[in-house]
Amino acid sequence: MVHLLIQRVILSDRLEYSWLKRKDMKKYDIIPIIFWIGLSIFMMVLSIRLGLGKFHNPGPGLMPFLLGLLLILISFYLFLNCIVKKEDGDKRMKDKQNQINFTKIGLVSASLFVYALVLNRLGYLIATFLLLTVLFRSVGLKRWSSLLIISALTVLVTYFVFTSLGLRFPEGILKLR
């Protein structure tokens, strides 16, 4: 996706600056992006004040800083996407935005609420595996075999990466540390 954006901007014979003249690009396209950029800068500044630490001895501000960095990268990508997109894409995006699936929103919200309730009882491995299974299913993964494998791999990789950094997760019924 980014490669196509770079190709379009750099390799095109003529650049169209129609986004400057577009009447359909309203405040609601740009204002949320500016909000997220501002929030990510705020997060990064506050996390630097907490202290980033070093790679083998991370400080309390490292994770918020990395999340702020990820958020600002996504925001800039959305900003560029908003500027470069064609009007046909605008129509498709508006049609897609008008079709809000409240069932999926409710399912994701309920699953996150249940996850918060059962995390200490079931433990990180089981609760997160179940959460990811529900979330991946709600975003459209149809095959159960791939859904279960992706969920299991995600849980195991995050568990081993973060435990190697010295973080402890809720043990739950498996009593793993």
pLDDT tens-digit series, residues 47-87: 888 888 887 888 888 888 888 898 889 888 888 877 776 55
Q: pTM to 2 decimals?
A: 0.49
Average pLDDT taken over every residue of the chain:
76
Q: How far is CA 168 from CA 3, 5, 25, 87, in A?
A: 39, 41, 47, 49
**Amino acid code (one letter) for 127:** A
Q: How confident is the model at residue 13 (pLDDT cuts 50, 70, 90)?
A: very low
Condensed to tens digits (0 to 9), the pLDDT of residues 76-130 reads 888 887 777 655 555 555 555 566 677 887 888 888 888 888 888 888 889 999 9
**Amino acid code (one letter) for 10:** I
- Residue spans of the domains in the chain: they are 26-93, 102-174
As a whole number, mean pLDDT of residues 20-32 equals 58
Task: Give the whole-angstrom CA distance, residue 66 versus residue 142.
Answer: 32
Q: How far is CA 123 from CA 39, 113, 134, 151, 167, in A?
A: 32, 15, 17, 15, 14
Task: Give the whole-angstrom CA distance, residue 82 versus residue 88.
Answer: 13
Residue 88: per-residue pLDDT: 52
